[in-house]
Amino acid sequence: MRLRVATWNINSVRLRHEQVARFVAESGTDVLCLQEIKCREGEFPRQAFADMGLMHLKIAGQKGWHGVAIASRLPIKDAPGLAVCREGHARCVSGVIAGVEVQNFYIPAGGDTPDRALNPKFDHKLDFYERLTALMAPRDPSAPLLLAGDFNIAPGEHDVWSHRQMSRIVSHTPIEVAAMAELKASLGFTDLVREAVPDPQKLFSWWSYRAANFRASNRGLRLDHLWASPGLMGAARGDGRVSAQVHDRVREWERPSDHTPVTVDLQV
């Protein structure tokens, strides 16, 4: 069975659930990991998701800020929650779908100053990565595990519009890239999107609202990720190759999120 999994920082699910329905219908998505839902659990538009066929939900909501959710066509079993946010924000939600553990994250953006001592938000971001890395390291790499979400780091020089300029800006600084690499190495994760679309092709999933025409300026970053444990790579290479893509056309829709969905196909 093909299971198409998407991650999308929706930047308010109540504002954009109609766009979610359009995307799900056009893309054939079976499991959708959302970040920045910006609502409490009781405010989540459940009926709209039931109408689009994603009737099974796991929600970690928060008033006005943050918040994550998993919506699925298939039942979602419980999976261990991960206590990785020292501030107690709703930034992680988990579940097991068709035998695959899915951990969906909205990792802190980190503010503007890339200095842990001067910027508590940046310290929080790196602390989040360090806690998550410590939790992943002792796990069984043969177990099928998918990490999904807005990781708020663009790791490679081809994941940013300008490696030289962005190396001094939060989201692509050397200390962040190193923290992300440690997380990736902790369990031997594979970056599924880069497996499907290798360097040196430029690939972005986020564009600032400041640009009147995001395609013309094309100053994007690849902040949204889908990572597979070694035990999930058989499912990710079901037909011999990884099938993953960034759906950048969604960024052209009216009143879009500044992020665009990213999908991967799993054979489960």
pLDDT, tens digit (0-9, with 9 covering 90-100), for 216-256: 999 999 999 999 999 999 999 988 999 999 999 999 999 99
Give the whole-angstrom CA distance, residue 235 versus residue 265: 8
Q: Which residues contact 209 (CB under 8 A, 6 or more apart)?
A: 258
Q: What is the pLDDT of residue 239?
A: 80
Instruction: Kindly state the percentage of the chain with pLDDT values over 70.
Output: 100
Of residues 80 and 58, more confidently modeled: 58
Give the whole-angstrom CA distance, residue 157 versus residue 154: 8
User: Alpha carbon 43 to chain centroid distance?
Assistant: 22
Q: Options 3.60.10.10, 3.30.910.20, 3.40.50.1000, 3.40.50.150; which CATH number does 2-267 get?
A: 3.60.10.10
The alpha carbon dihedral of 259, 260, 264, 268 has a sign of: positive
Question: What mean pLDDT is reported for the chain?
Answer: 97
Residue 10 clears pLDDT 90, i.e. is over it: yes
Pairs from 135-139 (Cβ < 8 Å, separation ≥ 24): 135/82, 135/84, 136/183, 136/186, 136/187, 136/189, 137/186, 137/187, 139/187, 139/229
Reduce the secondary structure of 168-233 to three states and give it as a string.
Answer: CCCCCCHHHHHHHHHHHHHHCCEEHHHHHCCCCCCCCCEECCCCCCHHHHCCEECCEEEEECHHHH
Q: How far is CA 268 from CA 1, 167, 240, 241, in A?
A: 5, 39, 14, 15
What is the arithmetic mean of pLDDT over 166-189?
98
Of residues 64 and 26, more confidently modeled: 26
Query: What residue spans define the domains of the chain?
Result: 2-267
Question: Could you tell me which residues are beta bridge partners of residue 72?
Answer: 31, 56
Residue 25 clears pLDDT 90, i.e. is over it: yes
Q: What is the pLDDT of residue 194?
A: 98
- The pLDDT tens digits of the residues spanning 152-168 come to 999 999 999 999 999 99
The pair of structure tokens assigned to 52 is: 């689009």
What is the arithmetic mean of pLDDT over 40-69?
97
Q: What is the pLDDT of residue 212?
A: 84
267 phi, psi to nearest 5 deg = -100, 105
The pair of structure tokens assigned to 242 is: 């990884």
Q: What is the pLDDT of residue 139?
A: 97
Give the whole-angstrom CA distance, residue 178 versus residue 184: 10
| Full-model pTM | 0.98
Whether the CB-CB separation of 31 and 70 falls below 8 Å is answered with yes
